[in-house]
């Protein structure tokens, strides 16, 4: 089983600050870096570093060639990535002294996928392969329909959350990769609703799907109808949480690709994301599988 990731490719402009800037305020940044990012790029690198066969599908501009270089170094198949005569997608990221982040995204070439391009990429797919997508590219509905027609399994990380999720054919999704806020929005519930109630509602709305809900300091929950599993976080000192969710997503799906158990997938993905938050930046923080194995042997929950 391989993963085809229709994913965003961004140039991250990262500003380290003591506190997030307030409306009307001007502040100095402690430091500034340009780094590779985009939820799609991060998730492809995470899955590839976890050992999965990953084909990345997406678009960059001439200023984004270093993004494909980084993916290729991580053994991601970049043969389907297009270079267009337009600016690469980019972000402005604030990281405060406690490692929390705030992110503004400009779509750029991530919003320039075409249906002909989708068909070309999906010609590489076999029934049973896994398609991964987020909400940082265009043509989400078309990707869902076309992937389902190919007999693929579909993993959707609805981030940023669609303005109208009901406009998408979410009944085709097999795995929802969500944090607690995204899960509550999908369930049409308040963000402070009990986790179990949110999972119950999602099971009613999307009975065909597994829900993987990351909860920050509270770990992760897995739900498939009446089956509920959980895993706590591995305690580490947080430096930068930017790629934590993407690392979890890539590692979890890579474990599924090699037919690992859900418990194993939850543990490996939790360990990988713990390592990622202990390091600065997005893609550079994603660990190799050997590091995750070593971390699990030494970690204490």
* Angle at 174 (CA atoms; ends 173, 180), nearest 5 degrees: 80
> Residues with Cβ < 8 Å from 76, sequence gap 6 or more?
44, 45, 48, 54, 55, 56
Told to judge if 246 belongs to the known catalytic residues of this protein, a careful annotator would answer: yes
**pLDDT at position 292:** 97
Minimal CA–CA distance to 214: which of 169, 176, 254?
A: 176
Minimal CA–CA distance to 136: which of 173, 165, 171, 161?
A: 161
Evaluate whether 263 touches 224 at the Cβ level (below 8 Å). no
Q: Are strands 153-157 and 175-179 parallel, antiparallel or unpaired?
A: parallel
**pLDDT at position 16:** 94
**pLDDT at position 2:** 98
Given 12, 129, 174, 246, which residue is catalytic? 246
**pLDDT at position 282:** 79
- Domains of the chain: which residue ranges? 3-298
Query: Cα–Cα distance between 72 and 45 in angstroms, integer?
Result: 9
Its CATH architecture, for the domain 3-298, is: 3-Layer(aba) Sandwich (3.40)
Query: Cα–Cα distance between 159 and 227 in angstroms, integer?
Result: 25
**pLDDT at position 85:** 97
Minimal CA–CA distance to 44: which of 137, 111, 169?
A: 137
What's the predicted TM-score (pTM) here? 0.92
Mean pLDDT of residues grouped by 10 in the chain (301 residues)?
97 94 96 92 98 98 96 98 97 90 92 98 97 97 98 96 94 98 96 96 97 96 95 92 93 98 98 94 90 91 70
Q: Give whole-number Cα distances, 28 to 18, 33, 98, 262, in Å.
A: 9, 14, 17, 45
Evaluate whether 241 touches 280 at the Cβ level (below 8 Å). no
């Amino acid at each position: 089983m391989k993963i085809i990731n229709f994913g965003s490719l961004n140039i991250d402009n990262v500003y380290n600050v003591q506190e997030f800037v307030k409306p009307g305020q001007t502040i100095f940044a402690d430091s500034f870096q340009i780094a590779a990012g985009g939820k799609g790029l991060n998730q492809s690198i995470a899955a590839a570093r976890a050992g999965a066969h990953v084909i990345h599908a997406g678009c960059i501009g001439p200023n984004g060639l270093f993004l494909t270089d980084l993916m290729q170094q991580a053994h991601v198949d970049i043969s389907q990535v297009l270079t267009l005569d337009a600016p690469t997608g980019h972000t402005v990221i604030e990281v405060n002294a406690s490692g929390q982040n705030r992110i503004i995204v400009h779509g750029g070439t991530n919003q320039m996928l075409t249906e002909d391009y989708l068909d070309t990429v999906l010609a590489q797919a076999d029934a049973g392969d896994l398609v991964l997508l987020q909400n940082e590219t265009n043509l989400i509905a078309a990707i869902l329909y076309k992937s389902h027609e190919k007999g693929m399994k579909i993993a959707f990380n609805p981030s940023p959350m669609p303005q109208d999720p009901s406009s998408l054919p979410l009944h085709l999704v097999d795995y929802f990769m969500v944090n607690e806020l995204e899960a509550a929005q999908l369930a049409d519930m308040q963000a402070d609703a009990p986790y179990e109630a949110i999972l119950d509602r999602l099971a009613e709305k999307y009975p065909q799907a597994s829900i993987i809900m990351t909860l920050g300091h509270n770990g992760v929950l897995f739900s498939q109808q009446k089956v509920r599993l959980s895993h706590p976080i591995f305690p580490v000192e947080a430096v930068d949480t930017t790629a934590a969710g993407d690392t979890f997503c890539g590692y979890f799906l890579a474990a599924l690709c090699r037919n690992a158990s859900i418990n194993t997938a939850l543990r490996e993905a939790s360990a990988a994301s713990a390592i990622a938050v202990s390091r600065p930046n997005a893609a550079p923080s994603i660990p190799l599988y050997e590091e995750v194995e070593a971390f699990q042997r030494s970690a204490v929950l």
